[in-house]
Amino acid sequence: MPLCEMPTSKAMEMINVNVVAVTRMSRMLLPGMEARGRGAIVNVSSGSELQPHPMWAIYGASKVYVRNFTRAIRHEYAPKGIYVQHLSPLFVSTKMNNFSKKLLDGSLFVPDAETYARSAVNLLGRVQNTTGYWLHGIQYTFYKLAPEWARIKIGQLMLKDFRSEYMSNNVAKTK
Ligand SMILES: NC(=O)c1ccc[n+]([C@@H]2O[C@H](COP(=O)([O-])OP(=O)(O)OC[C@H]3O[C@@H](n4cnc5c(N)ncnc54)[C@H](OP(=O)(O)O)[C@@H]3O)[C@@H](O)[C@H]2O)c1
């Protein structure tokens, strides 16, 4: 939804979960890992980090924070034996996508949580930046070839489509 349609409490909650919690958890765990000289952190951003996201402004911006924060602390802590992975999935069929039946139903490019997690966990310790799932990797690579203005437009159209799907389902339910 457009920025000001989102209730303030929801907007703050999103920043709290996506930005504040990631920062606080990393700060909480790193000193112990540093003392042991080993450890691993996996921070989950999203393909929405690729460009500004009209209709998803806070979510997309919060994921840019996660990406840059994760890559920055990697440089600080890798020399101390700590592995810091930046995991950037595209769509996965989980309850955060319950606004769309199409996403919940899944598809080749929208795996279920178990398939995605199995694939992502296999990459732990092997790659530092990854989508976590090979078909997402292909999508991500092709998507990045498009100019930013085109990605913004495509993203906006996709989110408008999800919003229409959500609205029509909700209106249908209240009838
Ligand atoms: N699914 C996708 O398509 C997708 C794509 C790209 C990135 N991601 C990222 O992947 C990560 C995991 O999401 P998921 O797909 O696994 O979704 P999910 O199954 O809906 O899990 C989200 C988790 O976040 C917790 N959560 C949500 N709002 C919260 C709040 N206000 N306070 C405390 N906890 C809260 C939920 O807790 P409860 O179980 O108690 O509700 C749940 O454990 C997220 O960072 C998401 O942005 C997901």
Q: Whose CA is closest to 41, among 19, 10, 73?
A: 73
pLDDT at 147 over 80: yes
Q: Looking at domain 3-174, which of 1.10.287.3510, 3.40.50.720, 3.40.190.10, 1.10.260.40 is its CATH number?
A: 3.40.50.720
160: CA distance to ligand 1 center in Å?
Answer: 21
Global pTM exceeds 0.85: yes
DSSP state of 52: -
**pLDDT more than 90, % of the chain:** 92
Which three-class secondary structure state does DSSP give residue 112?
strand
95 lines ligand 1 (CB under 6 A): yes
Q: Is 59 a catalytic residue?
A: yes
Token duo for residue 97:
């996508």
Q: Which of 55-59, 162-166, 167-171 is least confident?
A: 167-171
pLDDT at 138 over 80: yes
Tell me which amino acid residue 152 is: I
pLDDT at 108 over 90: yes
Considering only CA atoms, which residue is closest to atom 15 of ligand 1?
Answer: 94
pLDDT at 174 over 70: no
Considering only CA atoms, which residue is closest to atom 45 of ligand 1?
Answer: 44
Sign for the pseudo-dihedral over CA of 19, 22, 24, 30: negative
What pLDDT score does 170 carry?
Answer: 82
Catalytic residue, from 59, 77, 116, 133: name it. 59
Task: Give the confidence band of 172 by pLDDT, cuts at 50, 70, 90.
Answer: low
94: CA distance to ligand 1 center in Å?
Answer: 8
Average pLDDT over residues 100-129: 96
